[in-house]
Every structure is written in C-alpha cells, then in structure tokens.
Amino acid sequence: MPRRPALRAILPSMRFRTVLALMMLLAAAGCAPTVTVEDTESHLQEFGLKPVPREQRWVIAVPSFSAQAGSIRIGSVDLSEEGDSFYRELGSGVADIFIAEAYESQQFRITERAEIDKVLSEQDLAVSGRINPATAAELGRIEGAELLVLGSVAEFGIETTGGGGRVLGLFGGSAETVTARTAVEIRLVDTVTAEIMALGRGVSEVSQANVTIDVANIMTNLRVGRTGTTIVDYAVRNAIRDAIQKAAASLPPKGG
C-alpha cells in the first residue's frame, strides 16, 4: 500500500517524457527534407493485348528508325553540329529497342535485321520515309518478312526546370524537375503490295523531381539499343509499347 502514491507520482512523469519525445520526433520529421516524384508514367506500362498464337503472328522486319535533327531536343544543348551519324545511330538503337518490345508483346514473329538497312540505304529511306513495291518485295524475299515496320522518332526531348546545360552531361538536381518526352510513329507495310496495313503512334511523358540524370550516358546507351531504369528509358520504351499496341490492335488477322 505505501508504494501506490509513489507509483502515481511516477506515471505522470513518464507520460510527460513520452509526449515530449513524440513531439521532438514530429518536429524533426517536419524539418527533414522531402522527396516528391511527379510522373505521368514513371514505370513500364504493361501490354494490354492478348498474346497471339505463334502460327498466327505476322512476320515483321524492322529496319533502322528515322530520327531528324528537328525532333531531338535536349535542354539547351545545340545538337546541330552532332552530324548525321548521331541521328543514324539513334534511329538504329531505337529500332533495336523496338524489336525487343515487339518480341515482348507476343504479337509478331521477327526476322533478323542485319541485312535490311543495306537494301534500304539505296533509297535513303531515312530521309524519304518512302518505300516502293519492288524494294518491299525484295526485303520480303531476303528476310522472309510479310510486313516491314517503318518507324520514326517523331519527338525526343529532355527538359529541366533549371534549363539544363550547354553540353550533354548531368541534368537536374535537388531543386529541379526533369521531364522526358518521346513520340514514336510506326507503319506496317505489306512486303508484297507495299500497302500500309496498320499505323501506330505512341507518346510517353515522364517527370521526376529531385533527380539527376546522366544524359550523355543515356544517349550513348540508346544509340546502341540499350535501356536502363531512368525516366528517359521509361519514356522511350512506353512510347514504343504504345505504338505497338495501337498498330497491333488495328492490324487485320493474318490470312483474314
């Protein structure tokens, strides 16, 4: 019995210390830096189409995509002096990424593209964007392809709220938001008749705050067909996936 008054005296003191500790933790949390992510699709979108049985899939051939100077914007960097090889390599790399995504979609069978660019280079397809029936048929014979995928990088941009640098390097920072936007257009052309069988345009824009990205490294990887997990990579792959879904959804069944 004598201990009860002492216990009653201790409990209020313990409650006071507990409340004080919680208040200090809350105050510390309020002072801690916060990281916010603003995105419209900062993840890889899933294909929404039902897989096509292999024997029912169209066989496609994928030459290099076209990429023009006016469609590529990276902050305040002047790309006018990069030269044609920069755009050819970017178009070739995006075509390789397209092949990987097209395979993943389970909508097509895909032929090897090693010889395709050699045939098309005679027409300078990257500039004209056109193909005649004779060349389409020739590609069909060489590669066994039923459809030729003519693709272009209609838009590719990386911007920061800070404006970016004057050279291809690090973009972003703790007080900046980086936005990557990509638009890809594809046409599926019959290799016998040169008829356009399906069209697809995919667009993806991804923004993230408080992030720094190595644009030089990303561009190097894209030009050789490699992707990673940055918002730029997601923008490119999601745009391609969007274009594939739209084209595949409008493509007539094989033999139909």
pLDDT of 109-142, one tens digit each?
A: 998 766 666 666 655 544 455 556 666 666 666 5
pTM assigned to the model: 0.75
pLDDT, mean of residues 223-251: 95
Is 23 among the domain residues? Answer: no
Give the DSSP letter of residue 106. T
Is 74 among the domain residues? Answer: yes
Counting Cα atoms < 13 Å in the Cβ hemisphere of 115 gives 11
Query: How many percent of the chain have pLDDT more than 90?
Result: 42
Q: How many domains does the chain have?
A: 1
Return the bridge partners of 100, or none: none
Return the bridge partners of 153, or none: 67, 184
Q: Provide the domain limits for residue 212.
A: 35-250
Is 27 among the domain residues? Answer: no
Q: What is the CATH number of the domain that holds 42?
A: 3.40.50
pLDDT of 25-40, one tens digit each?
A: 434 444 433 333 334 4
Is 3 among the domain residues? Answer: no
